[in-house]
Structure 1
Amino acid sequence: MAEGRRGLGRGLSALLDEAGDDAAPGGEGAREVPIELIHRNPDQPRRHFAEAEIEELAESIRNNGVLQPILVRPSPQKGGEYEIVAGERRWRAAQKTGLTTLPVLVRALNDERAYEIALIENIQREDLNPLEEAHGYLSLTHRFGYTQDKVATVVGKSRSHVANMLRLTQLPEGVRDHVIMGRLSAGHARALLTAKDPERLAELAVARGLSVREVEALARSDEGAPKKASGPRRSKDTDTAALEVDLEDVLGMKVDIVDRGGAGELKIRYATLEQLDDLCRRLTRT
């Protein structure tokens, strides 16, 4: 398969067509296989399955059956059995309904190609959380020797997106847990990468429901970002930094608050005379 033909936007069916040369004997079309002969892939990029989603899919299967075959390959460990490449959610839901067989497409795929298809299928359907996506890219680079450019080509993303996602794997475990559980977004996680104490700031972001921009502001403050070696700086508490962000949102201008035990300075930086006029009108409004 030519590298240039790969891409995220074409759909899993296109990937299967391209894998036609790898079809296992008798594996050209869908066929029914006993469900006990089908096993999950231990390298499946997706680690977390929402139980509510599985139950909803199971109910659909009870009413309509399995409408789309799952993709499997002959098991590398057990002769006569199969390993899931794409479709684990359907397999899990089907087990809840008591089905004894599943429709499958069998392809003789090596580890690299199987992992690649599994990753693409999950990203396409937005089933991966940001950390799962990041670790998927990490596996392609470390396990299979992909460059970031090749990963980007394979999954149909930009190289900068791949690089930014890979950085998320450097976060502390406590922060990663918040991202996995959906309490923090990928944007929050990227902002926390520059924080001096990312776990403490992550807890604050979750507790207060802070926006990505607010987290970025706190990460840039002394509480979040490493101190510069050139000269001392006064520490800025989280409430002050968050207030700066709120004022910037209202005014559309850069705000700097310097608090000294209840007294201090409020600096508002304007970029044009129009901004200054607007600020004066706001301050003198009766």
Structure 2
Amino acid sequence: MGAKKLSDKTGQVPRALGLVGVLALVATVMWMPEAPPEPEVAATEEPAQLPPQELPEPPRPVGSVERLRRYIPLFPGAQLVPMGQLQANGNPMEMGFFDVKTSAREVMDFYIQQFEQRGHRVVEQPDGEGGGAVNYYDEKLGALVTVNVMAGGTEVSPRARVFPAIVEAPEGIHLKADPPQVLPQPGGLVTVLRVDDQNPGPARSSSTLTQLAQGSPRELAGFYRKEMAVRGYASVGGHSSEKVEVLDFERQGERVSLTLSAMDKKEGTPETVIAVVLETKQKEVGP
């Protein structure tokens, strides 16, 4: 692999490393709507018991996993759930999901061994929390083949949430995205990740965004309430706490949900992480 193929659209960040952050965010936003992270359990306590074989799933299985299976061997005992076609910062991708009762390290070691046995040059990028990503670039496919692993559970009863994916990237991966024009843009806004749902059905054309902006959650909540009203959106709910503001807006055929979370900074201008879910209701077609 030449250095040129490993660079992203800006030519400044290695694609394999930059994409780890993108895929970690994709995995997080796909996981969170259905299952928030489990609370930590002390080692002396009895770990929470889950019903046998009842694994948490992404919102809805979509499509086939045949292509994923061809390039990414399945971890022993896992049941792969397809998540269908998505776009991550403009790069088409297909993704799957499985959950196993073993450590993230064991899963990552398995994929390093499997990919190396197939003759691929493997890149491993830890996430600092026990998980990370294992990937290789396939010249013939023009795609990055990757497995993103999130550590969970406890030391006594570890679990790993695993997201195998194939990302079409013949010319590189975009590490920043453009926000939808329908949304107001506060000062210093940067869109880190935009995931667009390409699957048929009610979620088609819906988007999930992760953004950073200057200001506190309370300041930005006031900005969004005012600007969304100007755009014809009605406030339909939400709540606030010391460091988090949750806002919900609707207008005909659209719903926007925002979660504004303060970044921990000891000095300098306050900054906020903004998670946005933009849902577009599909028109029903009569017979």
Q: TM-score, normalised by structure 1?
A: 0.22
Greater C-alpha radius of gyration: 1
Give the strand-richer structure, 1 or 2.
Answer: 2
Q: Which has the higher contact order (CA 8 A, sep 6+)?
A: 2
- Normalized per residue, which structure has more helix? 1
